[in-house]
């Protein structure tokens, strides 16, 4: 397989108008190591990479936002780095929020001592209710000594400490809920995958993010638009802690119809065994869509084209796969596959039929000779799809692709009255067991209605299992509170056993090909030792 061409960047024209870029640009992608990257994360990673590396020639950091030991694992950390690599995102530096735990702790102590933070132990519901009502907590004006003491209990992870959390003291009367004393530290005695049991307290994202961004030299913090309301809070932390300024810049969250983009829900789908794993071709993960046949340049183009938009909407997968088709169509070699269960044997007669089987080398792609040749075998014995045979009229002139025209001379039917295919379609036609075709190589291939795929049986036919996948979710726009089991599609896979031409034996895992009239496929497993190849149909945007 030839590599697909680079993503078209239209001359670096995806502009978002970042401010003050003359001083250099440093961006960051801050995944939490709590799952594999999905296509929404891919957008964030690619945008940060694009603006740092391609648009402004700056620097990009991948920072693990590893502040919640309950959800995070080393396995996910490694997976995310691999996912970035698959996306072509090359960080200049990899950092961890957990490396700043000491610094963050000291800054929190300082905030308490300066009267800018306090400890609270109101139950969760009360905290929420008071925040809605803009009511100050009873602990808001506790003494600095009391708050310092509670924070020390938290740090030690004592029974008492577990009841407390720290809040920054901003403005409980603000119209912006994000300003109403956000929680900045929590107690969690569970061991952390990197720092072990050193810490029993963990900073929240709201607190850690502005500090670490500033300390690491980030110039522009790109975030999804749900963070709009939290920008003033972010800036408040920078100002209060007298830290270097960082610009916030927001882009829209990516959503797709019939798709869940939440690590928590995707984890559930994986853990319950609904799919084969995080890289299942039905999963909206970077690995899943790649395994389904998405190429990285197409993904880059698709994301960067709509990157700067701030409209939040549900995208259709149609446009996504149509972009991919532009990249694969010119480089996908063409082969032939015929259904194994529902094929018909044909005898080819007439002038031009070889006495003994013969083969010819043909281009694997009619419009791209660079892709090389394939062997096409011609002989008296061929097979074709039952559905095609069923459609033939008596005496009809058809075209055998890569060969020429032929007349349908004789159809032999089985004794069993109804064939499975036809009966599924509510018809009473019988199975055709044999066809006789008479070649008419002088006939005009432009004049026939049917261009038929066929295979000579005088070659080593390669068994291939063709997979077609469907959406995992039945609802176009799932609500966050929809129960997973109510919206999960239980019927997401169709498998068809097929026989392919002898050239398919040389295909390797990851090759992208087209089986004529059946569609584009990615080879997930090569054929080997009589074991069939596995080929996943690649959506092209049509009929999804």
Task: Determine contact, residues 411/389, Cβ cutoff 8 Å.
Answer: yes
Near ligand ATP by CB under 6 A: residue from 7, 14, 27, 32: 32
Query: Active-site residue 253, yes or no?
Result: yes
Please tell me what DSSP assigns to residue 50. I
Strands 432-440 and 343-349: parallel
Q: CA-CA distance, 361 to 375, in Å (whole number)? A: 5
Buried b / exposed e over 229-254, threshold 16 CB at 10 Å, is ebbebbebbbebbeeeebbbbbbbbb
CA distance to 49, 79, 181, 223, 342, per residue, from 294 (Å): 19, 19, 44, 25, 30
Where do contacts with Mg ion occur on this chain (CB under 5 A)? 32
In the bound state with Mg ion, the residue whose beta carbon lies nearer, of 32 and 120, is 32
182 is a site residue for ligand ATP (CB under 6 A): no
Among 373, 316, 386, CA closest to 346: 386
Name which of Mg ion, ligand ATP, none residue 43 binds, using a CB cut-off of 5 to 8 Å depending on partner kind.
Answer: ligand ATP
The alpha-helical segments, DSSP class H, found in 277-316 are 286-292, 296-306
How many of the chain's residues bind ligand ATP (CB under 6 A)? 15
Distance from chain centroid for Cα 493: 18
Which listed residue (2, 131, 140, 253) is catalytic?
A: 253
For residue 181, the SS3 value is coil
41 is a site residue for ligand ATP (CB under 6 A): yes
For residue 491, the SS3 value is coil
In the bound state with ligand ATP, the residue whose beta carbon lies nearer, of 154 and 254, is 254
Near ligand ATP by CB under 6 A: residue from 31, 203, 297, 307: 31
Residues 202-261 that bind ligand ATP (CB under 6 A): 223-224, 253-254, 261
In the bound state with ligand ATP, the residue whose beta carbon lies nearer, of 79 and 179, is 79
Instruction: Tell me the closest approach of the beta carbon of residue 309 to ligand ATP, in angstroms.
Output: 12
Residues 48-77 that bind ligand ATP (CB under 6 A): 65
Task: Determine contact, residues 353/439, Cβ cutoff 8 Å.
Answer: yes
Which residues, including other chains, have CB under 8 Å from residue 325's CB and lie 6 or more apart?
Answer: 520, 540, 541
Query: Active-site residue 59, yes or no?
Result: no
Q: Which residue is nearest to ligand ATP (CB)?
A: 40
43 is a site residue for ligand ATP (CB under 6 A): yes
40 is a site residue for ligand ATP (CB under 6 A): yes
Task: Determine contact, residues 221/248, Cβ cutoff 8 Å.
Answer: yes
Which listed residue (263, 282, 292, 334) is catalytic?
A: 263
Query: Active-site residue 263, yes or no?
Result: yes
283 is a site residue for ligand ATP (CB under 6 A): no
In the bound state with ligand ATP, the residue whose beta carbon lies nearer, of 31 and 161, is 31
What is the gyration radius of the CA atoms in the chain, in angstroms? 31
Task: Determine contact, residues 431/424, Cβ cutoff 8 Å.
Answer: no
Name which of Mg ion, ligand ATP, none residue 281 binds, using a CB cut-off of 5 to 8 Å depending on partner kind.
Answer: none
In the bound state with ligand ATP, the residue whose beta carbon lies nearer, of 338 and 488, is 488
In the bound state with ligand ATP, the residue whose beta carbon lies nearer, of 168 and 286, is 286
Q: Which residues are catalytic?
A: 32, 253, 263
Note the residues at the interface with ligand ATP (CB under 6 A).
30-32, 40-41, 43-44, 65, 223-224, 253-254, 261-263
């Amino acid at each position: 397989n030839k590599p697909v061409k680079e993503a078209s960047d239209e001359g670096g024209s995806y502009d978002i108008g970042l401010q003050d870029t003359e001083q250099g640009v440093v961006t960051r992608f801050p995944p939490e190591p709590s799952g594999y990257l999905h296509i929404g994360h891919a957008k964030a990673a690619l945008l940060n990479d694009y603006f740092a590396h391609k648009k402004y020639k700056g620097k990009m950091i991948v920072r693990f936002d590893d502040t919640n030991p309950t959800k995070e694992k080393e396995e996910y950390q490694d997976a995310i780095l691999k996912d970035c690599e698959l996306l072509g995102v090359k960080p200049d530096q990899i950092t961890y929020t957990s490396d700043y735990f000491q610094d963050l702790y000291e800054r929190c102590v300082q905030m308490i001592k300066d009267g800018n933070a306090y400890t609270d132990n109101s139950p969760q519901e009360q905290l929420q209710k008071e925040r809605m009502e803009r009511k100050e907590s009873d602990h808001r004006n506790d003494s600095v000594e009391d708050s310092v003491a509670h924070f020390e209990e938290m740090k030690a992870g004592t029974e008492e400490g577990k009841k407390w959390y720290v809040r920054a003291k901003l403005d409980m009367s603000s119209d912006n809920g994000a300003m109403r004393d956000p929680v900045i530290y929590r107690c969690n005695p569970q061991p952390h995958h990197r720092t072990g049991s050193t810490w029993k307290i963990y900073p929240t994202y709201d607190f850690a993010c502005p500090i670490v961004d500033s300390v690491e030299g980030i110039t522009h913090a790109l975030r999804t638009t749900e963070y709009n309301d939290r920008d003033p809070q972010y800036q408040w932390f920078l100002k209060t802690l007298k830290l270097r300024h960082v610009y916030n810049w927001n882009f829209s969250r990516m959503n797709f119809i019939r798709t869940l983009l939440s690590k928590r829900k995707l984890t559930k789908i994986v853990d319950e065994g609904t799919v084969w794993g995080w890289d299942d071709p039905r999963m909206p993960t970077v690995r899943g869509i790649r395994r389904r046949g998405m190429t990285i340049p197409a993904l880059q183009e698709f994301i960067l084209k709509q990157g700067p938009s701030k409209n939040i909407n549900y995208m259709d997968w149609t446009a996504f796969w149509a972009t991919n088709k532009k990249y694969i169509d010119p480089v996908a070699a063409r082969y032939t596959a015929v259904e194994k269960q529902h094929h018909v044997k044909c005898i080819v007669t007439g002038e031009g039929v070889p006495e003994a089987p013969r083969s010819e080398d043909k281009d694997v792609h009619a419009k791209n000779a660079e892709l090389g040749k394939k062997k096409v075998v011609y002989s008296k014995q061929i097979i074709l799809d039952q559905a095609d045979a069923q459609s033939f009229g008596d005496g009809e002139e058809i075209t055998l692709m890569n060969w020429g025209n032929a007349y349908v001379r004789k159809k032999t039917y089985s004794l069993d009255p109804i064939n499975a295919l036809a009966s599924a379609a509510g018809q009473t036609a019988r199975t055709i067991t044999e066809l006789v075709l008479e070649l008419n190589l002088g006939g005009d291939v432009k004049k026939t209605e049917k261009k038929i795929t066929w295979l000579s049986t005088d070659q080593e036919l390669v068994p291939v299992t063709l997979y077609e996948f469907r959406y995992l979710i039945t609802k176009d726009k799932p609500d966050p509170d929809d129960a997973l089991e109510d919206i999960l599609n239980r019927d997401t896979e169709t498998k068809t056993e097929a026989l392919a031409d002898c050239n398919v034996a040389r295909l390797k895992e990851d090759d992208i090909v087209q089986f004529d009239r059946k569609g584009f496929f990615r080879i997930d497993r090569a054929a080997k030792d009589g074991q069939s190849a596995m080929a996943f149909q690649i959506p092209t945007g049509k009929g999804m």
